[in-house]
């Protein structure tokens, strides 16, 4: 699910979130995560930060603790098999050994290309 869907599922009031830049640089998001702001849903220290966009409230920081993040996982933009193939190609290009675990196939063999 995307950030807006996750906020809705967690019952987050978007008006209560801090204003954010529309497209923050990685350094900005990383700096925010290092501050461990409270989770936008439950108030525990957050582990992830991102920006959600709302017509009524504009761009807002959406911070989630581990549990809230796991309750609202992001969806892949491509099918899982394609994602794993692309991940394997990148790992091979930088000579990084890679083993993956999915609910579908369990532990996969080290990726060696196809």
pLDDT band at 106 (very low <50, low <70, confident <90, very high): low
Domain ranges of the chain: 3-71, 76-114
21-30, 36-45, 84-93: which range is least confident on average? 84-93
- Residue 93, SS3 per DSSP: helix
Pairwise pLDDT comparison (41 vs 102), residue with the higher score: 41
Dig out the tokens for 84 from the structure.
Answer: 């794993």
Evaluate if residue 104 carries a pLDDT over 70: no
DSSP string for 15-79: GGSPB--SS--HHHHHHHHHH-PBPTTT-SBPSEEEEEEETTTEEEEEEE-HHHHHHSPPPPSS-
Model pLDDT, residue 101? 74
Q: Specify the DSSP class assigned to residue 72.
A: S
Residue 105 banded pLDDT, cuts 50, 70, 90? low
């Amino acid at each position: 699910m995307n950030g807006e869907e996750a906020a809705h599922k967690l019952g987050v009031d978007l008006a209560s979130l801090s204003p954010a830049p529309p497209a923050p640089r990685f350094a900005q998001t990383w700096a925010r995560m290092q501050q461990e702001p409270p989770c936008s849903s439950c108030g525990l220290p957050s582990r992830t930060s991102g920006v959600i966009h709302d017509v009524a409230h504009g761009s807002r920081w959406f911070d989630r603790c581990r549990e809230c993040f796991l309750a609202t996982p992001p969806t892949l933009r491509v099918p899982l098999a394609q994602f794993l193939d692309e991940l394997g190609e990148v790992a091979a290009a930088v000579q990084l050994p890679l083993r993956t675990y999915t609910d579908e196939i369990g532990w996969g063999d080290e990726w060696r290309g196809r």
